Structure 1
Amino acid sequence: MPTTTLIEPHGGTLCELIVPEAEREALREKALTLPSITLTPRQLCDIELLLNGGFSPLRGFLNRADYDRVVEEMRLQSGILWPMPITLDVSEAVARTLNPGDEVALRDPTGLLLAVMHVEDVWKPDKEREARLVFGTTSTEHPAVAYLMHEAGDYYVGGTLKGVQLPVHYDFKELRHTPAHLRAEFERRGWERIVAFQTRNPMHRAHKELTDRAAEEVGGHLLIHPVVGMTKPGDIDYYTRVRCYRKLLKYYPEGRAMLSLLPLAMRMGGPREAVWHAIIRKNYGCTHLIIGRDHAGPGKDSSGRPFYGPYDAQELVQKYQDELGIGVVPFKLMVYVPDQDTYKPIDEVKEGERTLSISGTELRRRLAEGEEIPEWFSYPEVVAELRRTHPPRHQQGFTVFFTGLSGSGKSTIANALMTRLLELTGRPVTLLDGDVVRTHLSKGLGFSKEDRSINVRRIGYVASEITKHRGIAICAPIAPYEADRQYNRQLISSFGGYIEVFVDTPLEVCEQRDVKGLYAKARAGLIKGFTGIDDPYEPPSNPEIVCRTTEETVEQCVEKILDYLYREGYLKKEENGA
């Protein structure tokens, strides 16, 4: 049976949920007759850490009583500190098939059985309450809130797990340790004081200096423990990051540091997430955790306001430090002092001392524009690895995504842009028009809200593949819903450029242009759910380009887009022989 000993909160006992080998075959046989849930990428990360003990003392996805108390008080019903709701979200259709006392098989996308869940509760949560209390905001500019509101299912299923096996990974196998394995490795090495470094970004000289200082401060060793599950949309992919970490390891003193990968789905929850990270690292056998500036924060909103204070996370973890049973090593921002050729925490810099730093945004800009990255900032091997997978912007693929009402002129401008790009460049250009895609890619889909969302996201998926392989995709669906457009933006931006073009044409003008008579049929009630008539069009909140076809010609719109592509570096004048 799974280990369920919870005598001391985070006191060293792992709650591993994989059943003994003799019971697994019986569970597999039983699961053949049970309903199944196919887990999402986030749920796969969560179940791996539930099954391997990384989320000890949890024995499954939170039931309603535990969920409510975690949201309100950061505690389980037992009183044990736990800051983050770990929930199995499902659609209403799935929820209606489940009742307390049922069992359900949890599978990966290939159908592989991972666990059988004993259902304790099925309920519809108040997501706004969860967002406000857990993340401190209901703004969907916060990535976890956006996921909660637009991606997660509307119902939660809570219950205990009997694990059959962990999710399968084929990459970096030698770096994927369970908590039990990592504890055993520390013991084998004779490490007693271990400070963990949480990261979702490449590490550079400032990180090296910070982690060296932390290991020296605790008089122990360093675990570089990067997240390789879900991180913030737009982050550098973990394959690149892990190759960078490996290059960095050689710069540490012999025997000081080791690298292990954490399959965590981050929520970017700031202070609460920092407490969560501390619990997880304690489960993995660490005695200390580095908490840096704005630990696990998502940064700022569109108005420039940070979601969390720079040291809120440090303060909350220190508040619960004794209860957590893991030491905190707080660090402030590290800056380079060129006159001394060294790094210092910013609070140790003397008045008048000159300092240098490069932000993550500035680093991405330099990579995108092919600019020099100085050696005081990073190591040559790390920079070379980053350049391999993040070439200058003019060598990347990109997607131009048009959105607007039917009859706004999207398809006309998109076709004109395609011909101009074919004229100016030697690159492959693919046009994904809404009507054409429905004929070939989405045949059989109707025009319900759900079907329209599926159609737009399918277009986004194809565009992401084109962008990934450094081609140019032009998309021209109506795409009426902001959530679908944001989903596509996040997906495509992880592979290259994403340029949203809002073709802002008034409804009355679109109706006048309607050669198919669709608006007239919608007005007459012959077509239901027609965008702009009896179904809303949600204008983009922050498009890169706005084209107003009542004021601008097709040629002017195309030139506006091309000017943007040249200005932002997606195209180079040399491609036109200029």
Structure 2
Amino acid sequence: MISHETTPCTAPRTLLVNAERAEELRRTSLAFMSLTLTKRQLCDLELLLNGGFYPLTGFMDRATYTAVLTRCQLPTGHVWPMPIVLDVTADISEKLRIGQQVALRDTEGFMPAVLTVTELWQADKTNEAEAIFGTTSEQHPGVSYLQQQTHSYYVAGTLEGIQLPTHYEFEQLWHTPAELRVLFNKKGWRQVLAVHSSSPLHQTQRHMLIDAAQREQLPLLIRPAVGETSPGDLSHIARVQCYQALLPHLPANLTQLALLPLAMRMAGPREALWHTIIQRNYGCSHFLIGPDHASPPFNHHQMRFYEPNAAQTFVQQYADEIGIHIVAMPEYCYVPARATFLPLPEIEREGFDSVTMSEAELKQRLQQELTIPDWVSYPDILNRLRKVYPPRSRQGMTLFFTGLSGSGKSTLANILVAKLTEMGDRPVSLLDGDIVRQNLSSELGFSKAHRDLNIRRIGFVASEITKNGGVAICAPIAPYQTTRLAVRELIEQHGVFIEIHVSTPLEVCEQRDRKGLYAKARQGLIPEFTGISDPYEVPVQPELRIDTSQLSPSEAVQEILLHLFKTGLLR
């Protein structure tokens, strides 16, 4: 759904209704169907309501969605590169009707908005992946999220906003487009250079920002994306604290920090254009784009999905249409011979030797308590990062056993609990499949959907234990690769995830079966039994693979302890 207004010089209109209408919606909402939104959906909703996604006035209908995918454009001709859709399950889609009002709620039950349904359809997610990300490979985190976590049915509709979501952290750093424009006016900033960021900024980035601001003669607006970012990214709390530590090293009275409730897609060129339009809606006149803007993390373990400078080239195609200036900046590196940072083209032209340090390498050095060269960052930032990335011997971790029933998972998990508890370095918790079934998932059956939900519950509890520096030892069957990957991504935000495939052969597991479950499954008495009537998807790259038909329980546990010692998780 889109507005027919032209791009405004003043703040875009919000989708918030007046107080009388808001009270009416609250009063009648008990009769509405409710949808509890995910974190990504809540981020999208906030930017729809406050005008950050101008000229959208609701979640896209199919015609708008198709125009965005095929032409990077709304039906009215406005440039817009990213589908903004509300995805729901097949079960929910069957309950929705055109014209129906739906209460959109957060996880605590608060209702920021009401949606009036205008259309329902099933998306072709493979086509969407190719159009938006330029690939269908699930090694791309955006494609993986689309295929594995986004539901296939999309709901279009107009929105009536009741209230914007409340943010309790860094309360002075949240602004709507209208509020940010008022702040610019108060400061006397007629033009502003916005800088998007989803990672901490260090000395390299500081020099690039200073050069850009001096070249354009503009004040700086640092815009951290604090919705969902890349898997494994630093939490937004720690990142914002790092940005605050950087502010004293940037020009006084010419730098402002303001948070953006954006859920990133990591779509490279298209995402760079999307970010540019959003910053225009917030009142910025210029936007800085680096050579790998909004690209997935790249290192020797991961694919490069977009060529360097692809985002800059793509956005420049729309420069005359989007009403904001593009400031394209090259990569910067440290030049020891000059004791300063220089743009890569200049370094190559002059033949200087240069060095750089990726965020992944910095994280590794902090965890291994190695020396950080003075040119990398500032002490206040590094001190904050040391709290987030403690030495591996003090990190929380999850040891996730997976394997067939009877493979020996529970036996190994129980021995490992005893060994690690005896060491006393960290609190240890056991989340065995049967124990969790009894205490956390007693209402669940054994359908694929219920087994999946059970594993995700285990993953959530394990992530909380890991986040607080403990050790979670999980021992479910966990037959599905997609679910195991989702649990890994959840836990790796907070600590270490170690997948241990107990690869004991099926025939050995059957021989060990004291409860006769395999025999009943082969007789058809137990439906969807893993390994017999339902598949077990073998882990592709587990940290450890252990066959308990070849090792005694004590020998197998020693293999695990030696791995923890080798990788620095035990001292």
* 1:564 matches 2:566: no
d(CA) in 2 for partners of 1:252, 1:345: 19
Q: CA deviation at 1:103?
A: 1.4
1:187 equivalent in structure 2: 185
- Residue 555 of structure 1 and its aligned partner are, at CA, apart by 2.7
Gap runs ≥5 in structure 1: 573-578
Equivalent residues in 2 for 1:374-413 (5 A)?
A: 374-413=373-412
- Which residue of the other structure, out of 261, 279, 287, is the alignment partner of 1:263? 261
Give me the whole-angstrom Cα distance separating, in 2, the residues matched to 1:471 and 1:250: 35
Q: Which moved more, 1:555-564 or 1:363-372?
A: 555-564
Distance, in Å, in 2 between the alignment partners of 1:145 and 1:20 is 39
Instruction: Give a deviation string over 1:3-22, Cα, whole Å, max 9, x none.
Output: x8633247655131011223
Is the aligned partner of 1:478 residue 2:477?
yes
Is 1:10–1:325's contact at 8 Å kept on the other side of the alignment? no
1:330-349 equivalence runs, <5 A? 330-349=328-347
Q: Identify the residue that residue 419 of structure 1 maps to in structure 2.
A: 418
> 2:291·2:329 contact (CA, 8 Å) conserved in 1?
yes
Q: Deviations over 1:131-169 (max 9, x none)?
A: 111111222222222221221222110011010001111
Give the aligned partner of residue 221 of structure 1.
219
Measured in 1, the distance between the counterparts of 2:299 and 2:516 equals: 42
State yes or no: 1:238 paired with 2:243: no
- Distance in structure 1 (CA, Å) of the matches to 2:196 and 2:319: 17
Matched with 2:468 is 469
Question: How far apart are 1:303 and its partner, in Å?
Answer: 6.1
2:286 maps to which of 281, 285, 288:
288
1:490-531 CA-partner distances (Å, limit 9, x unpaired): 111111111011111222222222121111101100000101
Report which stretch shifted further, 548-557 or 477-486: 548-557
Task: Return the offset for 1:223.
Answer: 0.3
CA distance in 1, matches of 2:430, 2:11: 56
- 1: CA distance between counterparts of 2:529 and 2:202? 52
Secondary structure at the aligned position of 1:411 is classed as helix
Task: Describe the shift of the 1:137–1:5 C-alpha distance in structure 2 as closer, same or farther (beyond 3 A).
Answer: closer
Aligned AA for 1:38?
T
Task: Work out whether residues 62 and 121 of structure 2, in 8 Å CA contact, stay in contact via their aligned partners in 1.
Answer: yes
Q: Name the residue aligned to 2:47.
A: 49
**1:98/1:82 CA distance change after superposition, 3 Å:** same
Counterpart AA for 1:221: P
In the aligned structure 2, how far is the partner of 1:301 from the partner of 1:71?
29
Distance 2:525 2:402 in 1: 25
* Matching residue within 68, 71, 95 for 1:70: 68
Moved more, 348-357 or 521-530: 348-357
> Counterpart of 2:363 in structure 1: which amino acid?
R
Q: Is the 8 A contact 1:299 1:307 kept in 2?
A: no
Contact 1:39/1:109, CA 8 A, preserved across alignment: yes
Residue 327 of structure 1, CA deviation:
1.1
Runs of 4+ in 1 over 6 A off after TM superposition: none
Structure 2 partner of 1:549: 548
Deviations 1:344-401 (A, max 9, x none): 1111114442212111110110121122222211011111111123211111111100
1:576 is matched with which residue? Answer: none
What's the offset of the Cα at 1:49?
0.3
Find the counterpart in structure 2 of residue 370 from structure 1. Answer: 369
The CA distance in 1 between the partners of 2:378 and 2:359, in whole Å, is 16
From 26, 29, 39, the equivalent of 2:27 is 29
Percent identity of the aligned residues? 50
Aligned mates of 1:546, 1:301 — CA distance in 2:
25
Normalised to the residue count of structure 2, the TM-score between the two structures is 0.97
In structure 2, the partner of 1:272 is 270
2:492 maps to a residue whose letter is: S
Say if 2:143 is the partner of 1:145.
Answer: yes
Deviations 1:422-475 (A, max 9, x none): 233443211111011111111121001111011111111111111111111110
Q: Which moved more, 1:93-102 or 1:223-232?
A: 93-102
Q: For this pair of structures, how many residues does the alignment match?
A: 570
Task: Tell me which residue corresponds to 1:534.
Answer: 533
Change (3 A) 1:5 1:95: closer
Written as runs of structure 1 = structure 2, the 5 A alignment for 1:116-155 is 116-155=114-153
Report the residue type matching 1:524 in the other structure: Q
Unaligned 5+ residue runs, structure 2?
Answer: none
1:532-576 alpha-carbon deviations (Å, 9 max, x no partner): 11111111122111112233332332222112211221111xxxx
Kindly indicate whether the alpha-carbon contact (under 8 Å) linking 2:401 and 2:475 is maintained by their aligned counterparts in 1.
yes
CA deviation map 1:196-226 (0-9, x unaligned): 1111111100111111111112111100000
| CA–CA distance in structure 2, aligned partners of residues 332 and 242 of structure 1 | 24
Matched position secondary structure for 2:95:
coil
Change (3 A) 1:139 1:302: farther
Q: What is the rounded CA distance, in whole Å, between the counterparts of 1:551 and 1:302 in structure 2?
A: 34
Q: 1: CA distance between counterparts of 2:5 and 2:16?
A: 20
TM-score calculated relative to the size of structure 1: 0.96
Residue aligning to 1:523 = 522
After the TM superposition, which of the residue ranges 178-187 and 352-361 deviates more from structure 2? 352-361
User: In structure 1, what is the Cα distance between the partners aligned to 2:446 and 2:420?
Assistant: 32
Q: Report if the CA contact (8 A) 1:15-1:58 is conserved.
A: no
For residue 112 of structure 2, give the secondary structure of its aligned residue in structure 1: strand
For 1:409, the aligned partner's letter is: G
Change (3 A) 1:427 1:13: closer
**8 Å contact 2:139–2:303 — kept in the other structure?**
no
- Once residues 321 and 563 of structure 1 are traced to their aligned partners in structure 2, the CA distance between those partners, rounded to angstroms, is 57
Give me the whole-angstrom Cα distance separating, in 2, the residues matched to 1:500 and 1:223. Answer: 42
Equivalents in 1 of 2:363, 2:301: separation in Å? 21
Q: Distance in 1 between matches of 2:5 and 2:111?
A: 30
CA distance change for structure 1 residues 151 and 207 in 2, over 3 Å: closer, same or farther? same
Please identify, of 176-185 and 324-333, the stretch whose mean Cα deviation from structure 2 is larger: 324-333
Q: Is the aligned partner of 1:164 residue 2:162?
A: yes
Structure 2 SS opposite 1:498? strand
Are 2:191 and 2:285, in contact at CA under 8 Å, matched by a contact in 1?
yes
Structure 2 residue 37 is the aligned partner of structure 1 residue 39: yes
Q: Aligned with 1:556: secondary structure? A: helix
> What's 2:204 paired with?
206
- What CA distance in whole angstroms lies between the structure 1 residues aligned with 2:8 and 2:410? 58
1:320 pairs with 2:318: yes
SS across alignment from 2:234: coil
Instruction: Single out whichever of 329-338 and 344-353 deviates more from structure 2.
Output: 344-353
Partner Cα distance (1:63, 1:145) in 2? 21
For the 8 Å contact 1:434–1:478, the answer to whether it is kept is: yes
Q: Measure the CA separation in 2 of the matches of 1:121 and 1:569.
A: 54
Does the 8 A contact of 1:196 with 1:222 survive in 2?
yes
Q: Distance in 2 between matches of 1:516 and 1:136?
A: 50
Instruction: Please say if residues 195 and 223 of structure 1, whose CA atoms lie closer than 8 Å, have aligned partners that are also in contact.
Output: yes
